[in-house]
Structure 1
């Protein structure tokens, strides 16, 4: 059986399984299994498949057909301009989270600024570590309650060459004194220039969450009390007072949480600017606040 035939059959099989990105997933998995770049598949369409290669490919296809996300099968996901290792210990980075990066870049265009970042619930590290790549003089405190998530993030920091500029802290983000003393000790500042976070923000009763997200991704990184708003509100309340003058707070949120979070940010009385950043589908995605200068 030749490569093109395997690719076509896999694509058809995925379509039967109602996988929306059937062709893309098939290409990614075949390229991964054969240790090729995707573009190389098209140069080897007439190449016969060996039995041992077919065994590997069948297992990859079986895993995808069961609903397992492609990123977990491949072991990585590209985010912004960089590649991040992922595992079931961390949420898979999503394109809409890149709005946080874009907002930071818009807020401070000086790439040589010695900024101090804090990333709450850092997971794979995709947000905070991307910011370190974009700002080569910056330092970061990255916090997560999951030791396994921090292991993944630490590997990503090493792979990206920024490990010397990040401090990983295994802690509950509600431990204000612990976080701030660690931040001040590592970053060398007593104020946070920009706080970023993609916290758990899904309501426990939300029935619109995809089955495979619930099945494969870490529930502790998905759900929060108070209709999903609990950590968004408590973390912003705690750390808003630790922001620098004209400091920035960016938190990803659910598509219907913009009004509630804008009202909450207003109630904190620390922000000069407050706005809801929409994603490409025009859904509420990030709450943004800039403190008084």
Structure 2
């Protein structure tokens, strides 16, 4: 079979299985299997595939139809125009999280914070930490996560992007490691914490069920981690330090209430590409 034939077969199969992006998924999987860029497939439509390649592709297509996300099948996901390794130990990076990263970068540039000390709470695969260090050449970033397996992935991505000198990761719950060390020189605390509610966890799309639940589950009302993290951030941030949080689309008012009861100011809510509340920024008074 040729590239064109296996692609068309996969696309038709995905359509019957109600996969959202049948052509995109089929092409990404085949390009990964053949170790080429997606665009190269178009000039190699007539390339005959070996039987073992056809079988390997068929297995990937079947797994995709079972709901396994493309990123877990390829082991890669792009974020902030950078390529990251991912596996089932970490959440798959979402485009919405780029809004948080871009805002932190913009704030550092606008306020001339040239050498910020940044902490990424719940770093997971390390995409936020690595992206911030990549685009802020003077930044030093510490990623904290409670999962050993997630930290392994983060370390792989740090090494992959040659940022071992400026990005470190440690195991811990939220900001507890820094609080125990009485560190209070952090310029920015950033986090994309678990924020799905109990009801949302019961109604997850099939794809999302393959992702680690501890990276998704925010407790009954989705606010558990925010209630713990927001007060603790005050202990490590310098005066005027910035807190940047990704939030659920229905949580802005609740997060604002938590912040308003503590010495935070300049509270702003940013929307995602669908116009939904997605990021909260606050400044320590």
TMscore range, shorter length: over 0.9
TM-score w.r.t. structure 2 length?
A: 0.95
Cα distance per residue 1:240-284 (max 9 Å; x no partner): 24222321101111111011001111111x222001111011111
Q: Which runs of 4+ in 1 moved over 4 A?
A: 181-184
Is contact 1:262-1:274 (8 Å) kept?
Answer: yes
Gaps (5+ residues) in structure 1?
185-189
Q: Structure 1 residue 166 and structure 2 residue 161: aligned?
A: no
Q: Which residue of 2 aligns with 1:99?
A: 99
**8 A contact 1:7–1:27 mirrored in 2:** yes
Other-structure match for 1:198: 192
* Contact residue 173 and residue 179 of structure 1 kept, 8 A: no
The alpha-carbon deviation at position 224 of structure 1 amounts to 1.9
Distance 1:57 1:70 in 2: 12
Q: Residue 248 of structure 2 corresponds to which residue in structure 1?
A: 254
Aligned counterpart, 1:150: 151
Deviation, structure 1 residue 182: 5.5
Partner Cα separation in structure 1 for residue 129 and residue 65 of structure 2 = 33
Structure 2 CA distance for partners of 1:134 and 1:183, relative to 1, 3 Å: farther
Aligned pairs for 1:33-52 within 5 A? 33-52=33-52
Q: How does 1:235-246 map to 2 (within 5 A)?
A: 235-246=229-240
| C-alpha contact (below 8 Å) 1:144/1:170 kept by paired residues | yes
Q: Secondary structure at the match of 2:280?
A: strand
Give the superposition deviation at 1:2.
1.9
Given that 1:119 and 1:141 are in contact with CA atoms closer than 8 Å, whether structure 2 keeps it comes out as yes
Distance in 2 between residues matched to 1:90 and 1:196, nearest whole Å: 17
Partner of 2:120: 119
Distance 1:226 1:40 in 2: 47
Within 5 Å, which residues of 2 pair with 1:53-68?
Answer: 53-68=53-68
Equivalent residue, structure 2, for 1:17: 17
Match for residue 288 of structure 1 among 275, 281, 284: 281
Check 1:169–1:244 CA distance in 2 against 1; reply closer, same or farther (3 A cut). same
Match in the other structure for 1:187: none
The alignment's TM-score, normalised by the length of structure 1, stands at 0.92
Distance in 1 of aligned mates of 2:133 and 2:60 = 34
Q: Deviations over 1:49-85 (max 9, x none)?
A: 2212111111111111111000011101000121111
Alpha-carbon offset, residue 25 of structure 1 = 0.3
The alignment covers a number of residue pairs equal to 283
Counterpart mapping for 1:207-222 below 5 A: 207-214=202-209, 216-222=210-216
Distance of 1:212 and 1:4 partners within structure 2: 27
CA distance in 1, matches of 2:140, 2:108: 15
Structure 2 unaligned spans of 5+: none
Worse-matched range after superposition: 52-61 or 118-127? 52-61
Please identify, of 201-210 and 57-66, the stretch whose mean Cα deviation from structure 2 is larger: 201-210
- The superposition leaves residues 23-71 of structure 1 with CA deviations (integer Å, 9 ceiling, x where unpaired) of 0000001111112211111111112222121111111111111110000
The reply to whether residue 82 of structure 1 matches residue 82 of structure 2 is: yes
Superposed CA RMSD in Å reads: 1.6
User: How far 1:174 sits from its partner (Å)?
Assistant: 5.5
Q: Distance in 1 between matches of 2:137 and 2:179?
A: 22
